[in-house]
A = this chain, B = another copy of it.
Amino acid sequence: MADTRWLDEGEQRTWRTFLAAVHLLEGSLDRQLRRDSGLPHAYYQALVALSEAPGGALTMTELAGRLRSSPSRLSHAAARLEEDGLIHRFKRLGDRRTTIAELTPRGLKVLREAAPGHVHEVRRVLFDSLTQEQVDQLRAISEVMLGELDPEGREPRYAGPNGAGIRD
């Protein structure tokens, strides 16, 4: 790190614009979800992940992997979601260290009601303004980033064409 290669003009513009855009985008999504459903975006994502799992249930560790969340963060989140009755945690017989988180009917209902507004917002702030080409570019770029940041490729799977879950 002796000699630093600073960002050139173009990189700098890209970086700052990107940072600003992402910052506003996250704020926008979070505000919409909180306002309309009382859920932070991160918690919404947890419900989505559960809804897509067979039986609406996942191990805490599996769920953390899908969300790329630390165990601790997920634990706190699950505590809150459970308190609100949106999920339910229990242990499987024969395995006393693993905890299963399961979407409750109420959680599914809340998710179903939240989804349309959320998707609408995602379209508004992102897809509505991008060309099809740009969407593809963004995917390619995101995949590169992800490859760098998550080399293990933790849970790169998505619901199939007829995935049972709630979309987002």
Contacts and interface: CB of A to CB of B under 8 A. Distances in A.
Interface residues of A, number: 62
Contact of A158 (B16, B18, B136): B16
Interface in A19-77: 19-26, 28, 45, 68
A9 B161 contact: yes
B68 A18 contact: no
A79 to B, nearest CB: 21
Given A10-B135, A14-B135, A139-B18, A145 B126 contact: yes
Interface stretch (A80-88, A93-101, A111-119): A111-119
Nearest to A143: B17
A33 to B, nearest CB: 13
Contacts of A146: 17, 20-21, 24
Interface in A114-168: 115-117, 119-120, 122-130, 134-150, 158-159, 161, 167-168
A144 B120 contact: no
Nearest to A3: B116
B168 A1 contact: no
Given A23-B68, A68-B23, A146-B21, A10 B123 contact: no
B120 A145 contact: no
Contact of A122 (B7, B126, B167): B7
A18 B142 contact: yes
Contacts of A25: 145, 149
